[in-house]
Each structure stands twice: as structure tokens, then as C-alpha cells.
Amino acid sequence: MSAPLRVETNIHDDDLWSDEDDLLLLETCTENSEVNCLEQPETHPSDSSTAASVKSKNTADTNNTTSSDHELPPLQRYRPNYLWVSDLTNQKWCEQKMVYSFTVPVLVEENPTMTAGSTLHLARELAVHDVVRVQITSNEDIFAIKLMNLLTAIVGFLNGLTVAREVPIFGTPFDEDVLVIGVIDELRFDPESYIIDLLELKTRKMKSLPKESQLSQHRLQVMVYKKLFDDLVKGKLSKETVARHLKLSLEKQFGESISKHLEDKLITSKNLNNLFDFVFMKIQAMTCVSQVIIEYVHQDSHETMLHKEVFYDDDELRTQFVQLLKFWKGERKPVGVDIEESYKCQCCEFADICEWRAQKAEEHALRRTQQQNKAVS
Ligand code: SF4
């Protein structure tokens, strides 16, 4: 049976800035870089509990921007023409904050909460995978690893496994021609009914349930995952589209290490052209995601506090997605939080410099003055 490859990154998230996209992809690939991968063991324990982590690092170096950079839409100015699912969820929390995170240098330090979340995620992942190491020599090699990890999950299901973790996913939802990449925490497969469920694990430092704004952020995340997975099952994504967005060559031969790993798995693909075909064929034999669940786990006790089933609404997701993408395409300016969610500003590292917040405070003060003047007259 095919074993999973998993790129291991040093990137961490906390409960708020969630997600687990491997930012290695196409950003830090250097000649002969070595990456860690995970391989499925012969025996595989059932789903124990834990979590994964990622922290988006700032990608824009303000010192290196040129006047022509400022004319580019945010998708190219702040991102290399594609998005991570975490970009969308960060944007959902506060778009203005996300923009500051790209443009204002901040010291990103790993805190104990992030470390605990990472440890829980890693432990859960290692429960179903073993680590293997491969040498990467090109961006095509890196994407081949993503495809292999996805393939391993699918082939594992077809061979009787019921759980796959850290499953790469990608696509161009709703024909918006923007590539989105992410990693699904967990897929659960019922071999009898062929039903696939999607589970996202969120660790919480405090033993309290998430606020509505956090729930809606997480809901967006898992709905995007389901959309990406289902689109692959339905054959809606072409290899040419992925290659065009990521500037990959479909014909370029994989490096020696990747080729050897594929051979070990009895996969004859020598380039992305063949590997895409093989992976797409396998995933199109699966069914779309049925249930979508978010599990909230207390970090210290590992106790599950909430098992929330998410109702997937395609129209709602489309509306949100299109609105979020208007910013990335440069069709509208970034916005900060509404007054009802101003509590988010209290823990925002950009609060002191935030122009959106200052403007809202001015508007609020003006309204109060007008009301007072009205009351007096
Ligand atoms: S201060 Fe508030 S509005 Fe401004 S970036 Fe931070 S969270 Fe957003």
C-alpha cells in the first residue's frame, strides 16, 4: 500500500491565526533543500486527539517594495499570486490586521500557547504517519510531495484505512481563477458506506467555548476545505490550471529523491503531468465530503470541549469568497472590524497605528457630539 509523504514545516499557528499550510511551498525551495516527510506505518492507531499548527510569516518586505509593486493587486503584492486558506481566515478575522501583518514588521515569537497547539497537532499526525525525508530540487518536486500526500490519503482509504491526517488540498473555487492551497486536519472514511467526513481540530488555552466571530472564522476555513476537496472529486480542477498559477512545468522531470520515492511506491510518474493524472483519477473515485466537524480541545487536559458540526452552504461560501477576493484582486480597499467586534482591537498588535480604528473612534466621537448638541437644542 502506498505510504504518505508529508512536508514538515517549522511554522506554527495559534488558535486565532489558524491553519496549517506549509509555507515551504514555492517560497523557500532552494536547490537540494531537504524536507521531512511522514510515512504511514503498517499498524495505524485510531484517531487519538491532538492538533497541528502554523503561523503565517510576513511575506512583504516593505524596504524592498518599489513604486510598481504598489500598483499590483494585493494577490501579487502580498502573495505570490495564490492564497493559503489561512489568508482567507486571517482576512475574515480582520482584513486590516492582515494587511498590517504584510506591511508592518513585527517580531513573531513562538509562545507557549502556540507550542502546545503545535505539539498536540504533531502528536495526532504522528499517530497515523511515519517520517521519511526526501531531497527537493525544484518547485515541481515540492508540489509532487503535496500530490503524494493527497494520494496516500486516498489510496489508504481504498485499502481499508479510515483516518488520514494533514491532507494537502488545493483548487480554484467558484471559477474565480484564484488558486487556494490548504491542508485538511483530518479526513475520516467509512469503507462500507464510502462516506468521508472532514474534521478540523482547534486547541484552546482557556477552558471556554469560542466566540461567535471565531466560530465563523473556523466555519469559513472548513467550508473552503470541503469545497476544494469536492471540486477535486468532481473533476473540476485541471492540472494546467494549477501549473499556470504556480508557474510549474508539467513536463519537468522530478529530482532523484522524489523519483526514487515514487518508484518505491510503484508509481511510474516522472513528472507532474503523469502524477496529476494519476492522483486526479484516484480522487475522482471517492465521494464528496459528507459531515464537516470542528473539534475544540482544551490544551492542558486534552479534553474535547465542543464537537461542532458545520452546515455547509455553497451559496453562503460563494458570497463570502467573492467578497474576500475583491480585496485580493484590488477591487476594493481593506476594511477593519465593525464596532460590534471592536474587542478584537484590544489584543491587536497594530492597534496603536491602526488608521481604521482611529477613523472609527473619530466617527464615534462626532456622533456623540451631534447627539449631545441635539439634546441641548
Ligand atoms: S486595531 Fe482593530 S481594526 Fe485595526 S487592525 Fe487591529 S483588529 Fe483590525
- The DSSP secondary structure of 229-288, one letter per residue, reads HHHHHTT---HHHHHHHHT--SSSBPPHHHHHHHHHTT----BHHHHHHHHHHHHTTS--
Nearest CA residue ID for atom 1, ligand 1: 351
Pick the closest to residue 97 from 21, 19, 17 (CA basis).
17
Least confident of 65-69, 185-189, 193-197, 199-203: 65-69
- Give the largest CA-CA distance in the chain: 85
**What interhelical angle do 256-264 and 139-158 show, nearest 10?**
10
Closest approach atom of ligand 1 to CA 344:
7
Task: Indicate if the alpha-carbon torsion angle 200, 203, 209, 215 is positive or negative.
Answer: negative
> How much is the average pLDDT of 226-240?
98
> How much is the average pLDDT of 201-226?
92
Nearest CA residue ID for atom 2, ligand 1: 345
The CA 91 to ligand 1 mean position distance, Å, reads 11
Is a pLDDT exceeding 60 seen at residue 51? no
State whether the beta carbon of 93 lies less than 6 angstroms from ligand 1: no
State whether the beta carbon of 94 lies less than 6 angstroms from ligand 1: yes
Is a pLDDT exceeding 80 seen at residue 18? no
State whether the beta carbon of 98 lies less than 6 angstroms from ligand 1: no
Rounding to the nearest 10 degrees, give the CA dihedral for residues 257, 261, 267, 273: -40
Cα separation, 119 vs 31, in Å, equals 29
Q: What is the residue type of 49?
A: S
> How much is the average pLDDT of 198-212?
91
Residue 158 has φ and ψ, to the nearest 5°, of -65, -15
Average pLDDT, whole number, for the chain?
82
Nearest CA residue ID for atom 4, ligand 1: 354
Is a pLDDT exceeding 50 seen at residue 7? no
Closest approach atom of ligand 1 to CA 354:
4
pLDDT value of residue 54: 30
Other Cβ atoms less than 10 A from the Cβ of 185: the count is 28
Residue 366 CA: distances (Å) to CA of 358, 359, 370, 372:
12, 11, 6, 10
* Three cell numbers, residue 368: 456623540
> How much is the average pLDDT of 11-17?
32
Closest approach atom of ligand 1 to CA 336:
3
Cα separation, 326 vs 143, in Å, equals 27
Structure confidence at residue 114 as a pLDDT band (50, 70, 90): low
Pocket residue to mutate for ligand 1, from 102, 343, 357, most atoms within 8 A of Cβ: 357
Structure confidence at residue 44 as a pLDDT band (50, 70, 90): very low
pLDDT value of residue 71: 85
* Three cell numbers, residue 345: 482591537
State whether the beta carbon of 336 lies less than 6 angstroms from ligand 1: yes
Q: What is the pLDDT of residues 189-201, one digit of tens each?
A: 999 999 999 999 9
Q: What percent of the chain clears pLDDT 70, i.e. is strictly above it?
A: 75
pLDDT value of residue 9: 32
pLDDT value of residue 368: 87
> How much is the average pLDDT of 264-276?
91
State whether the beta carbon of 99 lies less than 6 angstroms from ligand 1: no
* Three cell numbers, residue 200: 478540523
State whether the beta carbon of 351 lies less than 6 angstroms from ligand 1: yes
Q: What is the pLDDT of residues 248-269, one digit of tens each?
A: 999 999 999 999 989 988 888 8
Q: What is the pLDDT of residues 137-172, one digit of tens each?
A: 999 999 999 999 999 999 999 999 999 999 999 999
Cα separation, 245 vs 247, in Å, equals 6
Is a pLDDT exceeding 70 seen at residue 374? yes
pLDDT value of residue 111: 66
The strand pairing partners of 199, in sequence order, are 186, 293
Closest approach atom of ligand 1 to CA 337:
3
> How much is the average pLDDT of 335-350?
92
Residue 212 CA: distances (Å) to CA of 27, 92, 216, 316:
34, 12, 6, 17
> How much is the average pLDDT of 175-187?
96
Global pTM reads 0.82
pLDDT value of residue 47: 28
* Three cell numbers, residue 35: 524536507
Is a pLDDT exceeding 90 seen at residue 348? yes
The CA 172 to ligand 1 mean position distance, Å, reads 29
Q: Which residue has the cell 526526501?
A: 134
Beta strands in the chain (DSSP E): 33-39, 82-84, 130-136, 163-171, 179-190, 195-204, 289-298, 304-310
The CA 351 to ligand 1 mean position distance, Å, reads 6
> How much is the average pLDDT of 361-370?
88
pLDDT value of residue 323: 97
Alpha carbons within 13 A on the beta-carbon side of 254: 28
